[in-house]
Amino acid sequence: MKRVTYILFILIFVKPLFSQSAEEIIQKSEDLIKGNTAHGTFKMSVVTSDYTRDLTMESWWVGNDKALIVVKSPKKEEGDKTLKIGNEMWNYLKNTQTTIKVPPSMMLQSWNGSDFTNDDLVRESNLSDDYFQKILDEGDIGGEKCWKIELDPKPSAAVVWGRLYYWVREKDYLPALVQYYDEKGKLIREMVFTDIRNVGGRKIPSEWTMYSRTEEGKHTTFKIVSAKFDIEISDSIFSFEELEKGN
């Protein structure tokens, strides 16, 4: 009888360590910065020990299902495009007027020489579908209290990372840091979210910087210039006609 009473006391009066699941926290964080749909203008700066390279892009996304990215500058790459529909992806090179299909094995290759992969730019991976998630701890990132969430790939998931640590700010669910480890437990890269401001009616980090942890000084900053979220986007945007037409 005493044992039953003790168990009831625990269930009724003792609160769990975390009131939300890891899946709920990450879903809220992802929804805030991505929306169901999005359209905007973005700048990308690729920094290496030898050079700095800047690009401007216009992009459209529908969840993790569809994406179109159009390079606006520099001049020599203006009109190059990337299209993603479902699990398939194509690159269009304007100078040669050729369309190249990107095989699944290339999804984790660098997009346009940056520290972001093809997968990052077109949102191929789905964290809730591809990873087991659990809250490990709480910590401080950039002066803000954050949840530290561990993500381990599911056996059936076609992902390259052996483990992720996703840090989410407790006060507003905004992402603060994502750490990417290989299967041997080596830190390969880190994405840091900064410059929180109002973009398209929502307060989000407007600069996402991916730091290589295998090449000294190499990093890429993805900056949101302008964006609109949860808007109507025509299916015609995500078509070969749109991909291969001139700008």
Average the pLDDT over 113-130 and give the result.
Answer: 81
Q: Name the phi and psi angles at 217, rounded to 5.
A: 80, 0
Tell me, yes or no, whether 145 lies in a domain.
yes
Tell me, yes or no, whether 87 lies in a domain.
no
Buried b (16+ CB within 10 A) or exposed e, 213-242: eeeeebbbbbbbeebebeeebeeebbeeeb
pLDDT of residue 25 exceeding 90:
yes
Query: Residue 3 falls within a domain, yes or no?
Result: no
CATH, residue 119: 2.50.20.10
* Residue-averaged pLDDT of the chain: 89
Residue 2 confidence (pLDDT) above 60: no
Instruction: Give the residue, 83 or 158, on which the prediction is more confident.
Output: 83
pLDDT at 88: 87
- How many domains does the structure of the chain reveal? 1
Residue 58 has pLDDT above 50, yes or no: yes
Q: What number is the average pLDDT over the span 13-30? A: 77
Tell me whether the omega of the peptide bond preceding residue 153 falls within 30 degrees of 0, making it cis: no
Which pLDDT value is given to residue 125? 66
> Residue 117 falls within a domain, yes or no?
yes
pLDDT score for 228 = 96
| Inside any domain, residue 95 | no
In a domain, 233, yes or no: no
Amino acid making up residue 27:
Q
Whether 123 is in a domain gets the answer: yes
Share of the chain above pLDDT 70, in %: 91
What is the predicted pLDDT for the residue at 7? Answer: 44
> What's the whole-number mean pLDDT along residues 222-228?
96
Give the per-residue pLDDT at 8.
Answer: 43
The string of pLDDT tens digits covering residues 28-41 is 999 999 889 999 99
pLDDT digits (tens, 9 = 90+) for 161-185: 999 999 999 999 999 999 999 999 9
58: tokens are 């216009």
Average pLDDT in the 194-217 region? Answer: 95
Question: According to the model, what pLDDT value does residue 108 have?
Answer: 79
Per-residue pLDDT, averaged over 75-92, amounts to: 92
SS3 sequence of the chain: CHHHHHHHHHHHHCCCCCCCCHHHHHHHHHHHHHCCEEEEEEEEEEECCCCEEEEEEEEEEECCCEEEEEEEECHHHCCCEEEEECCEEEEEECCCCEEEEECHHHCCCECCCCCCEHHHHHCCCCHHHHEEEEEEEEEEECCEEEEEEEEEECCCCCCCCCEEEEEEECCCCCEEEEEEECCCCCEEEEEEEEEEEEECCEEEEEEEEEEECCCCCCEEEEEEEEEEECCCCCHHHCCHHHHHCCC
206 Cβ neighbours under 8 A, 6+ residues apart: 195, 196, 197, 199, 223, 224
Domain span at residue 202 reads 18-53+104-228
Note the pLDDT of residue 18. Answer: 58
Let me know if residue 88 belongs to a domain: no
- What is the C-alpha end-to-end distance of the chain, expressed in Å? 77
